[in-house]
Amino acid sequence: MKLSGLLLLTIAILFGACSPNNVKDAKEWEKYFTKHKLEGTFMMFDNGQGSFRVYNIDRAKQRFTPASTFKIFNALTALHTGAASDTNMVIKWDSIYRPDTIWNRDMSMAEAFRVSSVPYFQEIARRIGKDTMQRWLDSVGYGNKKISRIDTFWLDNSLQISPDEQLGFVKQLYFNQLPYQKRAQQLVCGMMIREKTPKYILAWKGGWGRTGNKHIGWMVGWVEENLHPTFFVLNFETEDPNPDIQGLQMELTRGILTEEGFFKGEK
């Protein structure tokens, strides 16, 4: 049985591995959520300092549909098992027109990952197969590990994962600690990098799902300065029928990271 990050952290505190002072309730981040009437959480783990900060720790332990953040796991499993040869592997468009017109073309895994193409990664999941996918969900201990249909289970609320579990997953990915080939982990890390400057690297994958009338937003990743990674997870929900999820993802994540002094190359 795998333990969640928060439980592991609690055990570490109890056994003196780190001080309770290193675990802080970041109440000051609440303003980013109340501005848009969002229920949400933001978690940050400074790997160098071993410090953990979280706004709304109760929500951080709750599980939600991973939506497109599951593309991280999907890509890793495909690359490791050979369902995908590399991130340049092209899957041809199935000629089905979709409202997200950017998906209506042939594309590589790297392109599909960046534009969050659902059809591409549905085909990847079908090529992996249900039995193999289930073995890897069990091996990694990804969320509740539940599969319904092989090409929809991360979208239809069958599979669920907590922000806390997402944080542990992306941290293990960064350090090549997941039970996949090192090459697969390095390739997926490369796809997650969205900004690379002399001062910082920002890597992330967003997600947008539905649970009833609620829209669920995610952003998981890390910011690196001076070879020093800090891992973060944003999760929120809104009942706004027409939310700008991508705008909210970036506004909240960049706002909090900027407030904490990132993007200057001084961390």
Residues with catalytic roles: 68
Beta bridge partners of 42: 55, 234
Residues 6+ apart with CB under 8 A from 32: 42, 251, 252, 255, 256
Query: What b-and-e string marks burial along 129-143, b requiring 16 or more CB atoms within 10 Å of the CB?
Result: eeebbbebbeebbbb
Q: Which residue in 252, 198, 237, 254 sits closest to 67, CA to CA?
A: 237
What are the distances in angstroms from CA 221 to CA 16, 150, 172, 207, 262? Answer: 28, 25, 11, 12, 14
Task: Judge contact between 55 and 159, C-beta under 8 A.
Answer: no
Instruction: Report the C-alpha gap between 160 and 107 in whole angstroms.
Output: 28
Report CA 261 to chain centroid distance, whole Å. 22
Query: Amino acid identity, residue 20?
Result: P
Instruction: Report the C-alpha gap between 226 and 103 in whole angstroms.
Output: 36
